[in-house]
Chain A
Amino acid sequence: MGNSRIKWHIVVFLAPAVLVYTAVMILPLFNTLRLALYTEVDQSRVFVGLDNFRTLFGDPLWSDAFWNALGNNFWFFFIHMLVQNPIGIALAAMLSHPRLRFAAFYRSAIFIPTILSFVIVGFAWKLILSPIWGIAPDMLAAVGLKSLYAPWLGKEEYALTTLALVSVWQFVGIPMMLIYAALLSIPEEILEAAEVEGITGMAAFWKIKLPLILPSIGIISILTFVGNFNAFDLIYAAQGALAGPDFSTDILGTFMYRTFFGFQLQLGDPHMGSAIATGMFAIILTGVCVYLFLIQTRIRRYQF
Chain B
Amino acid sequence: MELDTALLSRLQFAFTVSFHIIFPSITIGLATLIAIWEGLWLKTHDPRYLQLAKFWIKPFAITFGMGVVSGIVLSYEFGTNFSKFSDIVGPVLGPLMAYEVLTAFFLEAGFLGVMLFGWQRVGRKLHFFATVTVAVGTWISAFWIIVANSWMQTPQGYTIVDGQFHVASWFEVIFNPSMPYRLSHMLLASLITATFVVAGVCAYYLLKKQHVAFAKKGLSMTMWIALILTPLQAYIGDHHGLNVKQYQPTKLAAMEGIWPAEEERVPLLLFAMPNMETESNDFELGIPSLGSLILTHSFDGAVQGLKAVPPEDRPNVPLVFWSFRVMVGLGFGMIALAFIALWLRKRSTLFENKPFLAALALFTPSGVISVLAGWYVVEVGRQPWLVYNLVRTSDVVSPLPAERVLFTLIGFVVIYTLLLGVYLYFMRKLIKKGPPSMAHLEQQLIGMKAPGYALAWVKNLKHEEGEK
Instruction: Check if A and B associate.
Output: no
Interface residues of B (CB under 8 A from A): none
Interface residues of A (CB under 8 A from B): none
